[in-house]
């Protein structure tokens, strides 16, 4: 008998655990009642869906009224320690198999599992006061009537409405209320286009008339940029949270149609805000990400973003994810859109609990949101809410879903709105009267009508009203640069010496470094004595000098701490003690800005998006992302194409992110040679057929007009200058740098301290650049050294320009090969070599001056890339414009090819020799016509 009692108790304990693990499979999650929320349509055999299943546990029907001791791993008893088997099953069914499905038992932390059990299993815990129910109803009214209003006024317009998941708005507001109560002051949000206008109106609280006027086809575009469709736009707004009576800042990030692309961008911005607030545990700033079911399961960047969530330099200390699960992706059934049971299964990789909930049960949704906010506040980890809902219309309002989902949409057309269901429920409960409900509806309808009337007065569409990341102290009140000049970018010699000294030693005692690193540091010290810098020291000088002036520097990417080519070594590791390391850059000055250098996960899309978001938060930071090899940026092409290249013209937002892309034909094969400069240049917006005309500073005004800056610098000094210029400009533009590989250690790729000289400025009131950043040291306009957009010929040819027969224009590493070959062939008086350091925007003014200087010479463009790649297609029409189409610019380089480079070393050298011979054959173009 005692043996049977023990066995029965063990069976009951196993039964309880089965519901905790698999109860969600039997939950009633589909509002339509026709589908299973998961693709595993079977009900687990260990759940007691019928009496006969008791036999699975060795129990029988006559055991139902027996009393059993409850284990410590359940809270279904409340204050009771024993329950009958019948009551145990009833409470488990109520908790795990009703309108909420809880997935959490894969979490390998007992405390966290207990926390979740307590919040779902405790009897009567899912209760709301009448006041809370009325608030929920009012929010549902606003969410529903907003979409109804848009549908009435603009029935033939795409708006990607929220119909079918109107509960998203109250859900977000509940999360914001709970987070605000816990001390959160700023929330960064990202979402796809479905429901975006509703979120802007009823969560972020954007003025309704500014939303409605977007539907006016006669609205004129302002001259701020090309703009974007209304359901892609973002917004930044500080408002009072009425539930907590505390101010909270909400940022909804602009997002393209690439649904999940914004995920890492949101995380990066949230991380930056945490960093600047000193919020090391995410107590003041958090992120919320909204997703669609098909995209959450199908887009790889979701996985990449999850894998950043626990990394020290990337964690935002917990994100709340809401999946608007329409149970369809455009026209694709879930059965052909994913292999996992749920669209949310990707979240299991980081032990994030997943709460599935029937979106037609608003109170269940609110409770789940309350728990999710509590989870994030307690454990600072990610959590996922799966709002199982439906899409009342097609992919957009003009689409016909019956073509592909006839049975689903027959049911949807019969489906009552959740607002009607919930209002009827509250009226039946006596929480509100029918009159009160109708007054609430009429009140919001009136608000919409009044805003609609005001919207007709709007004549111009201003993108600046939709800015998601404003920098009010950096620009003027009108959003314009405070000046159109840039000071010199040189550095005082004593600062160079100080930084160089720190870069060539170990600032910690009893710290044993690798002998190879010691050799590198000794090499730096030797260069310092000669007043010279190599590439690594040039970077050190740029970073160190900016840190001294209070500018935070963040360098991220795969292997950036050491550097792919073992040249950087910004993090030193003790060879005798594990996990003991040192960052000398953070020990330059006691009052310097912090330097962040962090190896990233093996991700490009996610990490580049993250760094882009980080750079959005402030203009006073130098954010750099370095690709392990330049061609690896192509797996982040979405971030480059949709955010970095057109970001300012689409969304009116400046961004100063720097991409470091190792590039150069070194005979290493097709994958590790080209950073694909042709792609960046093809997307540069400067006009090839028009010579720019500016009054004032040509360089700065041209930079202000461009969408990004593309450079291939050939000296360490110029590398230092271009990094410093990035911060000293009165605006921010993305900077693409094709960085070298062999030049990192090339004996000729050295710069003198003189090339970084600051000049001796006259200090006058008009020369103070105080407007760039009040926190920075004052920079003075002077005659000091600057970034050289073009480096003129420095050989004997420059002394007698009239005798020069050919001018070879080039960029990057190939200059050193050309200079060496010219010397070998003794043609230093006949051939001049000019380096284009800034390729885009094209330095028309400097190129024209060089052409005029060598007026008798023929012009050649030489590149090491293949003719259909590299720079030639970009520079050729611009050269012709610079010379008024009066003379040709001949091509010298590799022939067109499909692959960026050969994989055969011998072929590589033969190609190099061939185009070198062409470059220095002065008669080769004589018989060619222009």
**Could you read off the pLDDT of 7-25 as tens digits, one per residue?**
999 999 999 999 999 999 9
Rounded average pLDDT over 252-258: 92
Task: Decide if pLDDT at 774 tops 60.
Answer: no
pTM of this structure: 0.94
- pLDDT tens across 379-405, in order? 999 999 999 999 988 888 778 888 998
Using alpha carbons, list the distances in angstroms from residue 743 to 349, 751, 840: 42, 12, 22
How deeply is 456 buried, as exposed, middle or buried, from its count of CB atoms within 10 A (0-12, 13-18, 19+)?
exposed
Peptide bond into 257 cis (omega under 30): no
Q: For 348-382, list the strands marked E by DSSP.
A: 354-358
What number is the average pLDDT over the span 421-439? Answer: 97
Residue 246: count of CB within 10 angstroms of its CB: 13
Looking at residue 467, its pLDDT comes to: 83
In which band, very low, low, confident or very high, does the pLDDT at 783 lie, cut at 50, 70 and 90? low
**Beta partners for 859?**
807, 889
Q: Measured between alpha carbons, how far is 370 from 177 in angstroms, rounded to an integer?
A: 9
CB contact at 8 A, 310 and 282: no
pLDDT of amino acid 328: 86
Closest CA to 140 of 437, 372, 427: 437
Q: How confident is the model at residue 760 (pLDDT cuts 50, 70, 90)?
A: low
Residue 34: what pLDDT?
84
Mean pLDDT of all residues in 264-277:
97
SS3 573: strand
- CB-CB neighbours of 116 under 10 Å: 21
pLDDT in tens, 325-371: 998 888 888 888 889 999 999 999 999 999 999 999 999 999 999 99
Range 427-440 average pLDDT: 97
Among the listed residues 608, 609, 603, 663, the one whose alpha carbon sits nearest the alpha carbon of residue 631: 663
pLDDT digits (tens, 9 = 90+) for 737-755: 999 999 999 999 999 999 9
- Percent helix, strand, coil in the chain (nearest 5)? 40, 15, 45
| pLDDT tens sequence across 599-641 | 999 999 999 999 999 999 999 999 999 999 999 999 999 999 9
* Model pLDDT, residue 223: 56
Mean residue pLDDT of the chain comes to 92
Q: Which of 364, 325, 318 is nearest to 341 (CA)?
A: 325
pLDDT at residue 1 is higher than 70: no
Contact call for residues 314 and 600 (beta carbons, < 8 A) = yes
Q: For residue 791, give the nearest of 865, 726, 863, 717 by alpha carbon.
A: 717
Whole-number pLDDT of residue 470: 87
841, 705 Cβ separation under 8 angstroms: yes
The pLDDT value recorded for residue 639 is 96
Is the pLDDT score of 227 beyond 80?
no
Count of other CB atoms within 10 angstroms of residue 873 = 15
pLDDT digits (tens, 9 = 90+) for 548-601: 999 999 999 999 999 999 999 999 999 999 989 999 999 999 999 999 999 999
Task: Give the pLDDT of residue 778.
Answer: 36
In this prediction, residue 479 has a pLDDT band, given cuts at 50, 70 and 90, of confident
pLDDT at residue 781 is higher than 50? no
CA 835 to chain centre: 34
**How far from 744 is each of 496, 530, 595, 663, CA to CA, in Å?**
19, 18, 22, 12
Residues 102 and 113: their CA atoms lie apart, in Å, by 11
pLDDT of residue 766: 36
Cβ–Cβ under 8 Å, residues 785 and 490: yes
The burial class, CB within 10 Å (0-12 / 13-18 / 19+), for 413 is exposed
pLDDT at residue number 562: 95
Percent of the chain with pLDDT over 90: 81
């Amino acid at each position: 008998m005692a043996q049977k009692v023990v066995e029965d108790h063990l069976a009951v304990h196993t039964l309880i655990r089965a519901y905790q693990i698999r109860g969600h499979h039997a939950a009633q999650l589909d509002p339509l009642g026709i589908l299973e929320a998961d693709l595993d349509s079977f009900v687990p055999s260990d759940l007691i869906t019928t009496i006969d299943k008791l036999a699975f546990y060795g129990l029988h029907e006559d055991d139902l009224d027996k009393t059993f001791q409850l284990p410590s791993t359940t809270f279904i008893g409340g204050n009771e320690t024993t329950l009958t088997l019948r009551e145990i099953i009833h409470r488990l069914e109520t908790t795990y198999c009703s309108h909420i499905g809880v997935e959490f038992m894969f979490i390998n932390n007992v405390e966290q599992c207990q926390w979740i059990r307590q919040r779902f299993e405790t009897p009567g815990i899912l209760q709301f006061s009448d006041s809370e129910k009325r608030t929920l109803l009012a929010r549902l009214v606003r969410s529903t009537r907003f979409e109804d209003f848009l549908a009435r006024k603009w029935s033939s317009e795409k708006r990607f409405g929220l119909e079918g998941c109107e509960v998203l708005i109250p859900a977000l507001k509940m999360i914001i209320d709970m987070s605000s109560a816990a001390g959160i002051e700023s929330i960064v949000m990202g979402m796809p286009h479905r429901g975006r206008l509703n979120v802007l109106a009823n969560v972020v609280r954007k003025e309704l008339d500014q939303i409605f006027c977007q539907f006016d086809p006669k609205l004129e575009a302002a001259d701020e940029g090309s703009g974007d469709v209304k359901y892609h736009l973002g917004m930044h707004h500080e408002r009072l949270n009425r539930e907590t009576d505390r101010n909270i800042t909400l940022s909804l990030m602009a997002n393209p149609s690439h649904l999940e692309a914004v995920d890492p961008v949101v995380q990066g911005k949230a991380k930056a805000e945490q960093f600047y607030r000193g919020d090391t545990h995410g107590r003041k700033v958090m992120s919320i990400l909204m997703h669609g079911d098909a995209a959450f399961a199908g887009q790889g960047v979701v996985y990449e973003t999850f894998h950043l969530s626990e990394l020290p330099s990337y964690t935002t200390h917990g994100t709340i994810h809401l999946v608007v699960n329409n149970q369809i992706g455009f026209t694709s059934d879930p059965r052909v859109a994913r292999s996992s049971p749920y669209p949310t299964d990707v979240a299991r990789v980081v032990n994030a609990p997943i709460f599935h909930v029937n979106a037609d049960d608003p109170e269940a949704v609110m409770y789940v949101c309350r728990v999710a906010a509590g989870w994030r506040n307690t454990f600072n980890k990610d959590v996922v809410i799966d709002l199982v809902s439906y899409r009342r219309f097609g992919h957009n309002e003009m689409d016909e879903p019956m073509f592909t989902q006839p049975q689903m949409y027959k049911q949807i057309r019969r489906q009552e709105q959740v607002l009607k269901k919930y209002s009827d429920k509250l009226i039946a409960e006596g929480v509100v009267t029918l009159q009160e409900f109708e007054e609430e509806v009429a009140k919001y309808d009136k608000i919409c009508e009044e805003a609609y009337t005001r919207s007709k007065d709007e004549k111009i569409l201003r993108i600046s009203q939709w800015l998601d990341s404003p920098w009010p102290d950096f620009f003027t009140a009108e959003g314009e640069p405070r000046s159109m000049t840039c000071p010199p970018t040189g550095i005082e010699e004593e600062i160079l010496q100080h930084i160089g000294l720190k870069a060539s030693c170990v600032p910690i005692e009893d710290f044993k470094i690798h002998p190879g690193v010691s050799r590198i540091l000794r090499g730096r010290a030797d260069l310092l004595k000669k007043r010279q810098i190599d590439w690594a020291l040039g970077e050190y000088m740029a970073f160190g000098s900016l840190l001294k002036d209070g500018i935070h520097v963040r360098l991220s990417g795969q292997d950036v701490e050491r550097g792919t080519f073992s040249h950087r070594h910004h993090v030193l590791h003790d060879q005798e003690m594990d996990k003991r390391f040192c960052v000398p850059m953070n020990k330059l000055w006691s009052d310097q800005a912090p330097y962040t250098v962090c190896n990233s996960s093996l991700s490009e899309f996610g990490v580049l998006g993250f760094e882009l978001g980080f750079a959005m938060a402030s203009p006073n930071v130098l954010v750099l992302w370095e690709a392990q090899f330049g061609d690896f940026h192509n797996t982040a092409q979405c971030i480059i194409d949709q955010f970095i290249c057109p970001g300012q013209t689409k969304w009116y937002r400046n961004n100063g992110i720097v991409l470091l892309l190792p590039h150069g034909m070194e005979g290493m094969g097709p994958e590790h040679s080209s950073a694909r400069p042709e792609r960046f240049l093809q997307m540069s917006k400067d006009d090839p057929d028009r010579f720019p005309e500016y009054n004032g500073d040509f360089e700065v005004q041209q930079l202000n007009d461009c969408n990004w800056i593309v450079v291939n610098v050939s000296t360490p000094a110029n590398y230092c200058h271009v990094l410093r210029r990035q911060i000293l400009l009165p605006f921010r533009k993305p900077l693409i740098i094709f960085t070298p590989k062999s030049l990192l250690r090339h004996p000729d790729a050295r710069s003198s301290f003189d090339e970084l000289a600051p000049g001796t400025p006259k200090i006058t009131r008009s020369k103070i650049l105080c407007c760039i950043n009040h926190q920075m040291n004052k920079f003075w306009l002077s005659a000091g050294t600057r970034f050289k957009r073009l480096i003129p010929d420095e050989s004997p040819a420059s002394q007698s320009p009239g005798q020069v027969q050919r001018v070879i224009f080039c960029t990057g590493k190939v200059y050193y090969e050309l200079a060496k070959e010219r010397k070998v062939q003794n043609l230093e008086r006949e051939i001049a070599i000019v380096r284009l350091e800034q390729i885009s925007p094209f330095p028309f003014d400097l190129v024209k001056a060089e052409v005029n200087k060598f007026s008798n010479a023929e012009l050649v463009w030489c590149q090491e890339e293949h003719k259909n790649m590299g720079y030639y297609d970009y520079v050729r029409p611009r050269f012709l414009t610079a010379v008024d189409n009066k003379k040709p610019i001949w091509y010298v380089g590799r022939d067109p090819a499909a692959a960026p480079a050969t994989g055969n070393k011998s072929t590589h050298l033969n190609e190099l020799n061939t185009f070198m011979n062409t470059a220095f054959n002065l008669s080769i173009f004589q018989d060619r016509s222009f």
